[in-house]
Structure 1
Amino acid sequence: MRSVDEHRAAVVALISAALPPVTVSLSDALGRVLAADVVAAVDLPGFDNSAMDGYAVRSADVVDASAASPVVLEVDGDIAAGDTRRHVLRPGATMRIMTGAPLPEGADAIVPVEASDGGVSRVALNLAAETGRHLRRQGEDVRTGDVVLRAGTHVGPGQVALAAASNVAELSVAAKPRVSIMSTGDELMLPGQSLQYGQIVDSNSVMLAALATASGADVMGSGHLNDDAEAMAALLGDMPGQPDLILTTGGVSMGAYDTVKEVLSGTGTVEFVKVAMRPGMPQGAGVVGERRTPIITLPGNPVSSFVSFHVFVLPALRALAGLDPEIATIESVAAQGWSSIEGKAEFTRVVVDADGARPSGGQGSHMLGALADATHLAVVDAETTQIRPGDTVHLLPLVGQDWPCP
């Protein structure tokens, strides 16, 4: 029996080369992952400017100003935000200035309008503004040439704003792997159809498509195929859309009608193994077709397929995108205890709240009710048989919990 780490390594090894990064505009960058550092093309701020609506002054001219004894200065004009002229402030005078407007030469402080009588031609100022008061200095936030975003960063609204302010219009981002998904089994029916006795709804194909999309992949096709060995062999040999990765679910165990295993076992390019994990013990991986497209065959039980996606498929997708396939766990504490089977790594669906992690409900590989409530997978190693309240637990965040903003 293969360990989880061994099978994950075998799956990632199927990715012979990462897809080249792509360049996208800022408007298309949300949710993508940076493939290269973003370097500022301008200083932020780009010039010395006012942080307040008020009056630009030479601090020496208002050194004695107070509410009891205001200093009266002549107003030499106005400077609005967006004013591109270069102004010079003469000693003994002031200029009205708006927030964000460029500081006139000679000025070294701002007196807010609230600390004045609001005068237009002459103004009484009652604040002794020291040098630098209410100013934003050029480059105090970012300097030209600074790396403002690192490769591997998920692009959210804040990252888009920073790149735009840094005068960067396009970003190099990881490519979206193309994925085709196929669930198998004569018993499966599409959601919304009437079910006869013995039939079940195909939840796996839509679930895997949602997981792949939330992981940053493009789903080329997602559907169902009956247990027809000839049709399956033809489809897998020439999968439409030239996907970068094929996922199948079902038909990989030891049953008499496990068609995926029947078809692919004879190719010599796909290996079926048992992995020491629960749920998700039956697994398969290899390459198919003339393009030698990587294929990962997942078990048919919905929770087994869901867990297997996080443990094996997600690292492969990250490798295809040129990202580190290693997915870091986070630590929490067990809010309640639970047991685990010896000799197998267990992936317990848990809910994490302020008290820690607790199982989200029934843990059977067919129990989707508990799956919908879960926020993480608690990774319990093969040697541990009991988790006790207060124990440290290692958690894998579930894909899509932060959807649609990664």
Structure 2
Amino acid sequence: MISAAAAREIVMAHVPVLPASPVPLLDALGLILTEDVVSGLAFPTCDSSAMDGFAVRVPDVAAATDAAPVSLTIAFTVAAGDTADRILPKGVTCRIMTGARIPSGADAVIMLEDVTEASGRITVREAIPAGEFIRPCGEDLLAGATILQRGTRLTPPRLALLAAIGRTEVMVHRRPQVAILSTGDEVIEPGQPLQPGQIYNSNAYAMAAWIQEAGAVPVRMPIVPDSLDATRRLLRKALTYDAVVTSGGVSMGEFDFIGKALASMGTVHFTRVAQQPGKPFTFATVGRKPIFGLPGNPSATMVGLELYVRPALRGMMGHPNRYRPMVLARLDEALTLKSDRMQFLRARVDHQPGGYTARLTGPQGSGLITAMAWANALLVIPTGTGRLLAGTGVTAMILEPELLLEGGLGGDLLTWG
């Protein structure tokens, strides 16, 4: 049996970063660039109007005052999207829309509300500076500029920036496709009548959601019956994808076949981890493809997804930040714990004026779901810890990033292991 920190180190050492692939912009949110993006054009691509108004030659209105206003004829209209190279003669104006190309000769725009319009003419009552309400060509970026660097995570504004320079796809580490396998004759799909001794396949939904939240693509496979041949057959099919996550079948029981099947297919790196929940956890590789054999108890499955599967998938996508943030929280209650393994306790962390506080969300049995459903953090309790008094500081792994925004991070982030 190895420590949780050693298990995580082994997992991350055997997770390949997926090669660069072209991905359409609309599918690239959250992915990591594998190229430096150089703009082939300036933005804006030409001098354009920042307002709805009237384009003028500054000398034509330089003498305008309330006492001696200047009147200009509206010669034409320039709409946004008009690509014609228009010329504004001296002594006249043109109506212009926001984003429209500035006609040659014009060097300022007057807002609609700053003039009086009547009978095809405008009256101007004050001088304006050159460049007023004009967005110059290249104001935002210049042609040839590197606008995004390799290793950048693609956010909505960055995708908009790529679209603004005409890109339709981008080179990134693609999303891994992850096969999901639940095991056991007792497991049935939700919606079917439940008989005594059967359970619904909740773990498949937990696995799919965790995988999707990490940015990868879950692929549901059939439930694996309690048979070594069936386990091998479905694992081989699952290995056509980038990674495999299973639940159940990894303990020491007569009908636990995941470990036996993997031993004949690839390299099993470990089968037991000194943690609670989730001691029976098998990690293997077949070629360069990782297989995560998680325990079948729901809380143990979900803790394994959080501790190992999520960071591994983010690693496959080249994410620099693979782990959840961790903060110091003070217990609202006293706890008496087993001391032979590292504990990952399901808890609710709140931000108070004095910092973060933590309280367990319910009974901590591995087979229970409710405590995990209400948790927004895992409390990381080191091996050898017995009784903890109320007010004791503990490390909290934050599962909901909104909590950090609410608390303003509250100081330095921590690590475990």
- What is the TM-score of this pair, normalised by structure 2? 0.81
Structure 1 distance, partners of 2:104, 2:394, is 60
Deviation at 1:223, TM superposition (A): 3.0
| Counterpart residue type for residue 50 of structure 2 | A
Change (3 A) 1:99 1:233: closer
1:3-402 correspondence to structure 2 within 5 Å: 3-15=3-15, 17-30=16-29, 32-67=31-66, 69-119=68-118, 121-236=120-235, 238-240=236-238, 242-264=240-262, 269-288=267-286, 291=287, 293-324=289-320, 326-331=322-327, 333-334=329-330, 336=332, 339=335, 342=339, 344-351=341-348, 355=352, 356=356, 358-359=358-359, 361-362=361-362, 363-382=364-383, 386=388, 391=393, 393-397=395-399
In 2, distance between residues paired with 1:145 and 1:98? 29
Greater Cα shift, 337-346 or 185-194: 337-346
User: Which deviates more from structure 2 when the two are superposed, residues 48-57 or residues 331-340?
Assistant: 331-340
Whole-angstrom distance in 2 between the partners of 1:69 and 1:378: 76
How far apart in 2 are the matches of 1:338 and 1:161?
Answer: 50
| Cα distance, 1:319–1:354 mapped onto 2, change above 3 Å | closer
CA distance, structure 1, for counterparts of residue 112 and residue 299 of structure 2: 63
Report the Cα distance in structure 1 between the residues aligned to 2:349 and 2:247, rounded to whole angstroms. 28
Secondary structure, aligned partner of 1:118? strand
Contact 1:303–1:371 (8 Å) recurs in 2: yes
Rounded to whole Å, the distance in 1 between the matches of 2:390 and 2:166 is 53
Deviation of 1:22 after TM superposition, in Å, equals 1.8
The farther-off stretch of 387-396 and 220-229 is 387-396
One-letter amino acid matched to 1:366: G
**In structure 2, C-alpha distance between the alignment counterparts of 1:232 and 1:312, rounded to whole Å:** 22
Separation in 1 of the partners of 2:64 and 2:338?
A: 78
1:351 and 1:375 in contact (8 A); partners too: yes
Aligned equivalents of 2:122 and 2:234: distance in 1? 82
Q: Distance in 2 between matches of 1:349 and 1:313?
A: 18
* Contact persistence 2:329–2:395 (CA under 8 A): yes
- Quick one: structure 1 residues 81 and 116, their matched pair in 2 at CA, closer, same or farther if it must change by over 3 Å? same
Retained in 2: the 8 A contact 1:44–1:141?
A: yes
Partners of 2:144 and 2:239 lie apart in 1 by: 41
Contact 1:380 1:394 in 2 (8 A): no
Distance in 1 (alpha carbons) for counterparts of 2:339 and 2:268 = 29
**1:51 offset after TM fit, Å?**
0.9
Is contact 2:58–2:107 with CA below 8 Å preserved after alignment?
Answer: yes
Q: Structure 1 pair 332/103, CA: closer, same or farther in 2 (3 Å)?
A: farther
- Counterpart of 1:175, as a letter, is R
Structure 1 298/76 Cα, relative in aligned 2: closer, same or farther at 3 Å?
same
Judging changes above 3 Å, is the alpha-carbon distance between structure 1 residues 101 and 268 closer, same or farther for their aligned structure 2 residues? closer
Residues 254-299 of structure 1, C-alpha deviations (whole Å, 9 max, x = no match): 44443323444566821444323332222211234xx564322111
User: Using the alignment, how far apart are the partners of 1:57 and 1:334 within structure 2?
Assistant: 66
Distance 1:233 1:392, change over 3 A: closer
Q: Write the deviation string for residues 327-384 of structure 1: whole angstroms up to 9, x where unpaired.
A: 2515475584564655644334344565456446113322322323334444455577
For residue 101 of structure 1, report the CA deviation from its aligned partner.
Answer: 1.4
Structure 1 residue 300: Cα displacement:
1.2
For residue 117 of structure 2, give the secondary structure of its aligned residue in structure 1.
Answer: coil
Compare 121-130 and 153-162 and name the one that shifted more: 153-162
Give 1:154 shift. Answer: 4.6
CA distance in 2 between counterparts of 1:292 and 1:27 reads: 29
Aligned-partner Cα distance in 1 for 2:43–2:171 = 22
Would you say how many aligned residue pairs link Structure 1 and Structure 2? Answer: 397
Secondary structure of the residue aligned to 1:315 is helix
Counterparts in 2 of 1:324 and 1:369: CA distance versus 1, 3 Å: same
CA 1:213 to 1:268, structure 2 compared with 1: closer, same or farther past 3 Å? closer
Find the residue that maps to 1:230 and give its secondary structure.
helix
Preserved contact between residue 65 and residue 125 of structure 1 (Cα < 8 Å): yes
Gaps of 5+ in 2: 404-417
Distance 1:147 1:351, change over 3 A: farther
Do 2:14 and 2:288's aligned partners in 1 also have CA atoms closer than 8 Å?
no
Assess, with a 3 A threshold, how the Cα gap between structure 1 residues 325 and 63 changes in structure 2: closer, same or farther: closer
CA distance change for structure 1 residues 373 and 322 in 2, over 3 Å: closer, same or farther?
same
What is the CA–CA distance in structure 2 between the aligned matches of 1:187 and 1:200, rounded to whole Å?
A: 6
Which SS does the other structure have where 1:286 is aligned? strand
Closer/same/farther in 2, CA of residues 239 and 136 from structure 1, 3 Å limit: same
CA contact (8 A) 1:252 1:272 kept: no
Distance in 2 separating the partners of 1:232 and 1:38: 45
- Asked whether the 8 Å contact 2:17–2:318 carries over to 1, the reply is yes
Secondary structure of the corresponding residue to residue 122 of structure 2? strand
- Give 1:76 deviation, angstroms: 3.6
TM-score (norm. length: structure 1):
0.83
Could you tell which deviates more after superposition, 122-131 or 335-344?
335-344
Q: Is residue 41–residue 168 contact of structure 1 (8 Å, CA) maintained in 2?
A: no
What is the one-letter code of the residue matched to 2:12? V
Decide whether aligned partners of structure 1 residues 382 and 240 sit closer, same or farther in structure 2, where only a CA change above 3 A counts: closer
What 5-or-longer segments of structure 1 have no aligned partner?
402-406
Give the Å deviation of 1:394: 4.4
